[in-house]
């Protein structure tokens, strides 16, 4: 499945509920899912980790939908490699990006 296709499925499935909830509350749901992912990374099974990664990704897409961001287009930021040095693999000397 392509990124845009997944985002459209999330939009069709949840947009009306998400719109009613609003951006702030939706962001809090995303953060809650990130917390669940953190727990799964520390002590979960592979299946639990995979499920939490999926949940975080879905909530991120939900938030992108509310903000009218096309994630496939936004992710092109990384299509040439590192967004800092432009290399694959990253050759930045700093810890970030």
Q: What is the pLDDT of residue 97?
A: 65
Q: What is the pLDDT of residue 14?
A: 97
Given the candidates 1.20.140.10, 3.40.190.170, 1.20.1250.20, 1.10.287.1080, the CATH classification of the domain at 3-78 is 1.10.287.1080
Q: CA dihedral in degrees (22, 23, 28, 31; nearest 10)?
A: 140
Q: What is the pLDDT of residue 94?
A: 81
Q: What is the pLDDT of residue 80?
A: 93
Q: What is the pLDDT of residue 35?
A: 98
Split the chain (97 residues) into runs of 10 and give each run's mean pLDDT: 97 97 98 98 98 98 98 95 92 81
Q: What is the pLDDT of residue 75?
A: 95
Nearest CA to 17 among 9, 30, 8, 26?
A: 26
């Amino acid at each position: 499945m392509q990124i845009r296709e997944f985002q459209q499925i999330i939009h069709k499935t949840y947009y009306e509920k998400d719109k009613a909830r609003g951006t702030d509350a939706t962001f809090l749901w995303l953060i809650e899912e990130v917390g669940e992912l953190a727990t799964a990374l520390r002590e979960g099974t592979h299946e639990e980790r995979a499920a939490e990664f999926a949940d975080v990704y879905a909530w991120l897409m939900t938030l992108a939908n509310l903000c009218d961001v096309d994630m496939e287009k936004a992710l092109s930021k990384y299509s040439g490699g590192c967004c800092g040095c432009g290399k694959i693999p990253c050759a930045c000397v700093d810890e970030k990006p």
